[in-house]
Amino acid sequence: MSSGPAAFFRSVPRITSVLDTLRQHGFGDVLVGGPSWPEPDRVRAAVEELGLVYVKFGQVLSTRSDLLPDRYLAALAGLQDDVSPLPASDIHAVIHDEFGTDAHTLFEMFNDEPLGSASVAQVHTASLRSGARVVVKIQRPGLGDQLSEDLLVLAHLASLAEVTLAKLRPFDLPSLVREFKQSLEAELDFGQEAQNIRRFRRQLADDARVWIPDVIDDLSTARVLTLERSDGVRLEEYVKTRPDEARLLARRLGGLFVRQVFRDGVFHADPHPGNIFVMDDGVLCLHDFGMIGGLSEPMREALVDLVEATVSGDARAATNSYLDLGLVPRDVDRDALEDGVAKLVEEIRGQPLADVSVGRALESLGRLGGRYRIRNPGAFMLLSRAFVTLEGVLARLDPTVGFVEMFPPAFTESVQMRISPTRLRRDAVTAARALDRLAREAPDDVRRIVRRWGEGAFGRVTVVPDSAQVTRAARSERNLRQVRSAGVLPRAGAVLLRGASVWVEAGGIVLFTAGTLALAYRFARG
């Protein structure tokens, strides 16, 4: 569905309906810019009445402790999208639309009774001609048009709130809705979930302690996903019969998540007990990869630095690491933020490490940053909520097991990766390229600055937003940032101390020196 003026006018009836529903549930004062919000239970009731898109958006907001008070988070966290099962005829119609034939032709056996039913899809058990047992996830029919309209309406409402409700502007609702739209569209694309599953299988292929059911490609499409069926049972059921394995499973599960976060950069974002099974031999089995989180390499490194600074009590380093994660307004009060971080660090250091909740600490940090209009990345808040969820699972298995004790091996590996020969070579090349770009573009800008200085025109500089000069200046500043972030020389020193191969350091120094000489030469020519 398009998002132009015509689409807006087509959406007016739905927008009116949504606003009317909000008004009936106590949002009248908020809608005219007032301060009085309805009670959390009324907010939840309004969201549930508005339907699937708003329920899903409410679930996203329930993870955003940087935006909402705890009592609203608790109310929205209880939102469920379980619905009544569809009749078998509707399910068979979707399968026929996707494959051009019926389920009983595709499968040796297809159970018309659903294993589970939710707002997006319904799950059935089946078996292949080979006898292999599978589960089939079938998307509910007609979701596409319905969701497209409501997503468009939600985007219009977010833009309206941005203009009319000044108190909501720091939350940047339009950006939040855009992120949500991308996430929901990915959830509706079972082909994307299949890719997620394959990625996790590749990443964890060397770990015999975990198994992830594979995708049956020939029987999967954008609306139907067929997977191997595990013989495992839910985690809590397994532990009831084998309580002596609880501590081992807690450490294994925690270590698996830490590896996903700090080594692989892709983590299961919904690790609730219903998605964790255990096989007869104690092997973990993970399910449901519709919601995953992704962390870039700089984000992973900033997280490592953040945790290390917090544990060591260095509030300034912790503040800098946190700022490396988010989008920071130019006028942020860094001193006030650092004071807040220092209080949080002291609070954490006052607890035994086994009692520290990593998830709650990240949520508190995100909430603190939100007060200073720092935009916390969605992945950061998703990670904090995943930590909280999994910490609850670990506590039920063994209250003495905590995440902090699992961090050192992951952090050691992170440091080794930062100073590895491969990483050093890559950073050296990045720095050399940035220096070369800087050398080619900076002299002209410097000459212009010096000339205007000599003319006494510095106080009358006019910046044209889209001018070529501004573009070049921005590129120059970015190049300098890349040189600094690459950190070639400090890392080269670290590698020397660790006895890495000489040719790597030499290569890095040669590249760095070549870039520096090129810069000097170009300035001399200019």
pLDDT in tens, 398-456: 988 888 888 877 666 655 556 556 655 665 666 677 666 767 766 666 666 666 666 66
Pairing between strand 276-278 and 284-286?
Answer: antiparallel
| Domain end position, chosen among 133, 167, 187 | 187
Same domain, 276 and 308: yes
Same domain, 281 and 407: yes
Same domain, 67 and 94: no
CB atoms within 10 A of CB 338: 18
DSSP structural state of residue 327: B
Mean pLDDT, residues 302-314: 89
Same domain, 25 and 135: no
Q: Which long-range contacts (CB under 8 A, 24 or more apart) does 502-508 make?
A: 504/421, 504/424, 504/425, 505/424, 507/425, 507/428, 508/424, 508/425, 508/427, 508/428
Nearest CA among 424, 413, 410 for reference residue 494: 424
Same domain, 57 and 125: no
Query: What is the reported pLDDT for 370?
Result: 85
Query: What is the reported pLDDT for 497?
Result: 35
Same domain, 510 and 439: yes
Q: Can you give the pTM of this predicted structure?
A: 0.71
- Answer for the pair 516, 435: CB distance below 8 angstroms, yes or no: yes
What is the tally of structural domains in the chain?
4
Least confidently predicted of 201-205, 250-254, 411-415, 459-463: 459-463
Same domain, 297 and 349: yes
Q: What CATH number does residue 218 fall under?
A: 3.30.200
The structure tokens listed for 446 are 């410097």
Q: Give the angle 368-370-373 at the CA atoms, nearest 5°.
A: 125
Query: What is the reported pLDDT for 504?
Result: 37
Q: How confident is the model at residue 508 (pLDDT cuts 50, 70, 90)?
A: very low
Candidates 66, 150, 270, 288; catalytic one: 270
Query: What is the reported pLDDT for 526?
Result: 45
Same domain, 74 and 170: yes
Same domain, 99 and 209: yes
| Domain end position, chosen among 418, 452, 485 | 418
Same domain, 23 and 88: no
| Domain end position, chosen among 187, 215, 245 | 187
41 in catalytic set: no
What residue numbers bound the domain in which 388 lies?
Answer: 231-418
Query: What is the reported pLDDT for 356?
Result: 86
Residue positions counted in the chain: 526
Give per-residue pLDDT as tens, 362-388.
989 988 988 888 888 888 888 998 998
Query: What is the reported pLDDT for 407?
Result: 83
List CB contacts of 281: < 8 A, sequence separation 6 or more: none
Same domain, 350 and 203: no
Same domain, 486 and 512: yes
Of the CA atoms within 13 Å of residue 358, those in its CB half-sphere come to 29
For the cut 70, the answer to whether the pLDDT of residue 461 exceeds it is no
